[in-house]
Amino acid sequence: DIQMTQSPSSLSASVGDSVTITCRASQDISSYLDWIQQKPGKAPKSLIYAASSLQGGVPSRFSGSGSGTDFTLTISNLQPEDFATYYCQQHKSYPLTFGPGTKVDFK
């Protein structure tokens, strides 16, 4: 199975900040990497697919980059609605696997 790791596990930030979350795969997954946002009690929401493509309706302050084993999610100009947990997920091979999540909360 492909193992996904994320760093940091949590971070504190303020509205207007720029934050970066890193995701690493245990083997080459090309660009088969997605980012998912989850707020407490809500359904997860797809943000970015294929490492860098924005899902429809997602604000442009979200951006993704990377390929192979190393990926990043950047949120520029953090907004109040962005405080959530973010997961990376690979779909290069079965079983699909998720990173452990990064919780972004208020400083």
Partner 1 sequence: EVQLVESGGGLVQPGGSLRLSCAASGFTFSDHYMDWVRQAPGKGLEWVGRTRKKANSYTTEYAASVKGRFTISRDDSKKSLYLQMNSLKTEDTAVYHCVRVSGTYNLDFWGQGTLVTVSS
Residues at the interface with partner 1 (CB under 8 A): 32, 34, 36, 38, 42-46, 49-50, 55, 87, 89, 91, 94-101
Smallest gap from residue 15 Cβ to partner 1 (A): 26
Residue 56 C-beta-side C-alpha neighbours within 13 Å: 0
CA distance 13 to 29: 30
- The strand pair at 10-13 and 102-106 is best described as parallel
Smallest gap from residue 53 Cβ to partner 1 (A): 8
Q: At CA 9, angle to CA 8 and CA 12, rounded to 5?
A: 75
Whose Cβ is closer to partner 1: residue 73's or residue 97's? 97
Whose Cβ is closer to partner 1: residue 14's or residue 43's? 43
Whose Cβ is closer to partner 1: residue 34's or residue 82's? 34
